Structure 1
Amino acid sequence: MKKITYILYFLLIAGSVKVTAQSVTYRITDDDPYDIKNFSLAIDPLFCDVNAQNTFSAGWGLRADYLFGKSLQFNFDFRTAYATTGYNPDNVNNRNYFYTEGGLGIVLSHKEKRRNVAIVLSSTQSGNTRTTISIAGGVPATIRRMIMFHGGVYSMTNAIKFANLSDSLTYFEEGSDKLMLKDTAIANHTSGLKENGYGGMASQAIFAGFNFKRIVQLYVDVDGWGTRSNRRYTDFYIDGIFSPVLTLKNFTTSSKEYKVSSKDKRLIGWRMGWIYRDPYNQGVSLRFEFGQRPDFMFASNTKMTGFFCMFTWGMYIPLKVGGIYNPS
């Protein structure tokens, strides 16, 4: 309890935010969520994936999304790690983190709504205090909203810590030999395999769920402040996941190759996430995602099976590609 108190106290004194509102005169110069660049290609120099399989992976990737007309959306995601806990390129028995995904979304609802949005006039930092000044009451804007049913497939590999797997339901098989995980340290003369060893896993999965897209593109000319804006192209999604293929990599010693299998696995998972970029201009794209992937059961705590939390930071190039929808 004391540790929690200390953490909360630290967060309170580490920094503060001061927000003030100001009444000003302004003119709306552009309010069009349809004048967008509907294709973007993001180069992600950094992603971090904290997961139950091997604790941590970090690397780079590519992402693309394409909003076609008012009915369809296509997306692609690729990630590969340059740092994976437990992965050793000289060890043939484990795998590096690698992920590819492709998906298709079908628009079920496409509407627009008028509501006030925040317009920030200035934001300054002084010591641990950030002061933000915005227009009092916000500014009315046209918000474009879409609800999509989307689905797709993904394929991933990763290093997996043997200590996370069940002793009695994980087998090393070669010919007539069928050894349990807890026996392999002696049988294969690989000291500490159960305690410190890493293997490799692979998963091919399908996912389906709902995506909620929101587009705002508002520019205002504020007396005494100049041009200010609120521009957002965001996706919030929640998916169910099913993995019909979930395997462990074969384990090779100096004299034998064992087929590794585990009957203790969960083939169903879920995820939810959020993606942000500018609807028109080149800039920074962010993605945050968490959930539970289909995975081998976590031996010590089944509630942690497949848990992951991922953050991606990238720079994207937006383009206007055929199929832009504009009701006017």
Structure 2
Amino acid sequence: MPPYASREARRRRRAAVFGTSPARPGAAPPLRVTAGTVLDAGPHLLVLAADGAETRIAMSGTTTVWHGGRGGLAALRPGRPVIVRQKDGGVADRVWVDIGRVAGTILSCGRGTVEVDMGVHRRRAHVVIPPHARERVLVRHPRLEPGYLVDLICVGSPDGPRAVRPGTSQPGYRADDLAAPEATAPVPEVLHGTATWFGDAGDETPDGVAYPAVDSEESAGGCAGAPSGCVPLPYLSVGSEVSVHNECGGRSAVVPVVECGCMAARFCDRCVECGASPRGRIVELTPAAFARLGGDLDAGCFNASVRVEGAW
């Protein structure tokens, strides 16, 4: 884990990265988001343990709670991890309870289950696909077979992640059959494609992005053997910063590269939140970072433009 991964260091880094000024001139600034664990909840107040302190967030009748779908106060049980996006006045707008995501290569399938390899930096996951979610998953992931890619929005349970819906549509090729761009293909100054998110509401990964083209040489932080993806990307190191702009919501921020996104490189898909994006996942954000830029975690993606070093 990076050396700045302590709670206090994460708090300071978040404050520096997600300030009030947008990274792109004319863009809206990021929203206020709090990630923590529920201590208490009522119709008007949500109390969290966040960054080692007690945090109180106002609730209203318009606050939406997600827990595997539209939920309510009953979902806000003490001990559950949540991500809260707030309105300008500080009132909770959206609350995601125990949300998670599993994206990677299918290793095996059982009756209502799937085993997924999420890449060298992440654990394998055993996902339950309950009957009420299976039809929704199969509509966009018709090949639940070993060797194919899968992307699932999940909710936590004592038995592990339970699939709720597909995160995106399944690419039509096997995970090891990705067509790489030509070696001479030019790298654009501004990258256009899909932004997704990774991890879960209780993840300890510091806020930032997993980038699909982290250099594997020396101490850059990349993983050897990672695919080059389907779009040309500049090589970066862990600790580099990129400007991410949500083309659907108009919000922008500078965020650090915290992990190699080698699995994202295998997904040559599109986001269709506001028209079809160009193919390719160009960043995977942590859940809080994704929500700060106006993305809805249960939707799974937004159309994005990305530029290195925050210069627009």
What TM-score bracket applies, with the shorter chain setting the length?
A: under 0.3
Larger strand percent: 1
TM-score (norm 1): 0.18
TM-score (norm 2): 0.19
